[in-house]
Chain A
């Protein structure tokens, strides 16, 4: 019974390149959340998705960031034209329920370094 899977675990990009982070939720979970953790900070909510729908993207930067959760395949967090300030750990979490309660289970994270 695999947990939440994220890949890659580490990603190095140069300024201006694109970063693609992937997340496969736990089996049976249809709700996916993305969080970002900057050094010495707590996790900050970015976006909440269900299959083929963005439910809440209030934590996403207005530019360069996008997320999707297609009918088939993993959820993708995409960062275009990365800058040094994007360097952070990005965590994906999944939940079976969404609204009405339900603990979120986290993946191991992707550590993005922008050179």
Chain B
């Protein structure tokens, strides 16, 4: 029973273009969403987050969009750089509880020079 789904295991884009990573969730109790980036043999690194009271959050080249009615969020990276090549995990939590993160399976992004 996967509550957070990343349906694309991999994505390949050209340097300088936009990367769009998608995430769907099923649990309507989730009210805070995070994206983490992970390199091999390292721990996840926090990238950007969004609260359910917002529909967009931007930080430099990274923007997260949240569509609550569709239970869908996406991460946009513009422009993509080769150093962005990594596995990206979407995670969700319910604030006020134990705040355990529920992760998707990840999407491997490859940015080609």
**Residues of A bordering B, CB below 8 Å:** 4, 6, 33, 35, 40-45, 48, 55-56, 58-59, 91, 93, 95, 98-109, 111
4 new A-B contacts at CB < 8 Å, known A42-B104, A56-B98:
A40-B105, A43-B91, A93-B101, A101-B99
Pick the contact of A56: B36, B100, B103 (CB < 8 A).
B100
Question: Within residues 33 to 49 of chain B, which ones have a CB less than 8 A from any CB in chain A?
Answer: 34, 36, 41-46, 49
Docked Cα-Cα span, A44 to B44, in Å, equals 13
Pick the contact of B44: A45, A102, A106 (CB < 8 A).
A106
Pick the contact of B101: A33, A58, A108 (CB < 8 A).
A33
Interface string of B68-99 (1 = CB under 8 A from A): 00000000000000000000010100011111
Minimal beta-carbon separation of A76 from chain B (angstroms):
18
Chain B residues with CB below 8 A from A43, complex form: 44, 89, 91, 101, 103
Tell me the dominant secondary structure on chain B's binding face.
loop
In the complex, how many residues of chain B place their beta carbon closer than 8 angstroms to a beta carbon of chain A?
A: 27
Q: Rank and list the top 3 A-B pairs by shortest CB-CB distance, nearest first.
A: A56-B98, A42-B103, A106-B43
Known A-B contacts A42-B106, A100-B95; the reply to A33 vs B44 at CB < 8 A is: no
| Docked-complex contact B43 and A45, CB < 8 angstroms | no
Pick the contact of A45: B89, B101, B105 (CB < 8 A).
B101
| Docked-complex contact A101 and B32, CB < 8 angstroms | yes
Minimal beta-carbon separation of A4 from chain B (angstroms):
7
| Docked-complex contact A107 and B101, CB < 8 angstroms | no
